[in-house]
Amino acid sequence: MGNNLKAARVSQPGRILKRELEARGWTQKDLANIMNRPPQVINEIIKGTKQITPETAIELSKAFGTSAKFWQNLEANYQLFLAKKQESDSDIQRRSRLYTIAPVTELIKCQWIKPTDSLDKLEQEICDFLGIKNTLQEPVLGANFRHNHQLNPEYTSLIAWKRRVEFLAKQYQVADFNLEQFKLEITRILSCAEEEEMITRIPKILEELGVYFIIVPHLNKTYLDGATFPINDNPVIALTLRYNRIDSFWFTLMHEIGHIVAEHEGIYLDNLTDLEDNKEEVEANTLAKNWLITPDTFSNFVQENQPKFSGKVISDFAKTQKRHPGIILGRLQSEKLVDYKNLRKYLVKVSPYLSNWIDN
């Protein structure tokens, strides 16, 4: 039967050798005696810890009545298989690293990086996008980012989102930034909060004041509403329009402006439905609310009208405050004074007025 042996598939040579012994009823020691070799040699070949050398191939061919080339081919094919498997395993590890440090699928879907079948090119695309030298370097949001995160999907998506914001900000120029002048212009910014159409003025106003204004939709698992951080000497205000409503837009915008006015240092990536309980967030939150509706005025309005707030009552109050009624409604809903299902017509979408500023 020996002459009919064929390497039909890539098998470990030791398995073939073991089958030949079983077919003949030989033990490993029997073959060792036949070949005049130590039993350990036969055992190591069968376990796969020792390769079949040309000399051993000749001896096996004589013992089993096969050709030496048969055993040599078995060994060569198996070693080639192992080499290819090792290369494949290495590629898998490289891809795993890429998907660990970046949300690769989303980056390609958003066209932030180019799709490619080349692993080398994909690695370079990711490194260039993240601003790292190689994939062994761990990307970070910033040296002064206030949280200590592990490298999880949410964190890597936050990094990718921020990198996209930075890339877009560097595509255009803004004026020099002066904090004291910026503070004086808060009233000018808020003058656009009366009608939804006036939102179109916001990007230009901020640009003139030296603030980058960027809109990049949030990535999966980030749940971002807005962010602020510096690029050189200019602040960046980035929004996601996660809640595409006028109340959310204005509160998020003024919250980020609050960070700037309060001179909070570092990077602030805000999920405003789950504000962190820390001094900076509380301060920015309070500034935003008080800028949009003065505390005493809002308190009096609530006392005079609760528990029922009709659309007319809200609209009339909004006119006295020179605010869009959706802003008033959003505040009432956030404080659980009006059910979120009620008066939705006032919560108009803002994306149509900011379409030229949304990253697509």
| Beta strands 268-270 and 234-239, pairing class | unpaired
Residue 96, domain member (yes or no): no
Q: Is the pTM of this model over 0.85?
A: no
The pLDDT of residue 2: 44
- How far is 16 from 21, CA to CA, in rounded Å? 9
* Low-confidence spans in the chain with pLDDT less than 70: 1-9, 88-89, 142-151, 274-276
Whether 122 is in a domain gets the answer no
**Residue appearing with tokens 């009919």:** 4
CA dist., res. 157 & res. 14, Å (int):
48
| Segments forming the whole domain that contains residue 11 | 2-91
CA atoms within 13 A on the CB side of 156: 17
Phi, psi of 338 (to 5 degrees): -135, 135
Q: Are 227 and 268 in contact (CB under 8 A)?
A: yes
Distance between CA atoms of 70 and 262, rounded to whole angstroms? 80
**Are 183 and 83 within one domain?**
no
H helices within the chain, ranges in order? Answer: 13-24, 28-35, 39-47, 54-64, 68-101, 104-109, 119-130, 153-169, 179-184, 186-190, 202-208, 246-261, 279-292, 295-305, 311-321, 325-334
Residue after which a domain boundary falls, among 62, 91, 120: 91
C-beta separation of 192 from 331 below 8 A: no
Evaluate the CA torsion angle 260, 262, 266, 268 in order and state its sign.
negative
Residues 166-202 have pLDDT tens digits of 999 999 899 999 999 999 999 999 999 999 999 999 9
Same-domain pairing of 352 and 206: yes
CB atoms within 10 A of CB 89: 10
| Domain boundary residue, one of 67, 91, 115 | 91
Residues 61 and 174 in one domain: no
Which pLDDT belongs to residue 88?
Answer: 67
Say how many domains are in the chain.
2
**Phi, psi values for residue 288, rounded to 5°:** -60, -45
Q: Which of 91, 120, 152 is the last residue of a domain?
A: 91
235 located within any domain: yes
| 281: Cα separation from own chain's centroid | 23
Q: Is residue 195 part of a domain?
A: yes
Q: Is residue 103 part of a domain?
A: no
Same domain, 222 and 335: yes
CATH number at residue 74: 1.10.260.40
Q: Are residues 203 and 310 in the same domain?
A: yes
Residue 151 forms part of a structural domain: no
**CA angle 263-243-283, nearest 5°?**
25
Q: Is position 287 within any domain? A: yes
- Classify residue 100: in a domain, yes or no: no
pLDDT tens-digit readout, 75-129: 888 888 877 777 766 888 889 999 999 999 999 999 999 999 999 999 999 999 9
